[in-house]
Structure 1
């Protein structure tokens, strides 16, 4: 799974919860974990250590993937923006 894939997947997952009126965090966690493929679930196990994903709150699981798939800032791009700034 890549960062763009996670962003799209998360949006669709939250839409699914809204459409099916799923408000219980425990139920959200179970649905989320059951829909992960083998590689994504293994990654979740690694990110949750020493805890298990089944005992971790849903919001914490989402945060773990958000942090893991966050796109790093490019130093060169930020430097270019800084030096190309114009006075208004």
Structure 2
């Protein structure tokens, strides 16, 4: 099996696992709603509970953006020199 096919299979496996975990979180959220000893006002919304860490969006700092732009310019320069 070539490396590219292996990578595609790995990405597909990760996606399937994430979908299965979302289903499990969905079921557990509704179980929490039905339990009598849990205060439903303190529970997060369904989207926050189901998505979990997927909902967190991190922004890159200015330093990282500058470093990326420098490396990208160097990459473009090297590509142009090869042609």
TM-score (structure 1 length as normaliser): 0.32
Q: Which has the larger radius of gyration?
A: 2
Give the number of the structure whose residues are more often helix, by fraction.
2
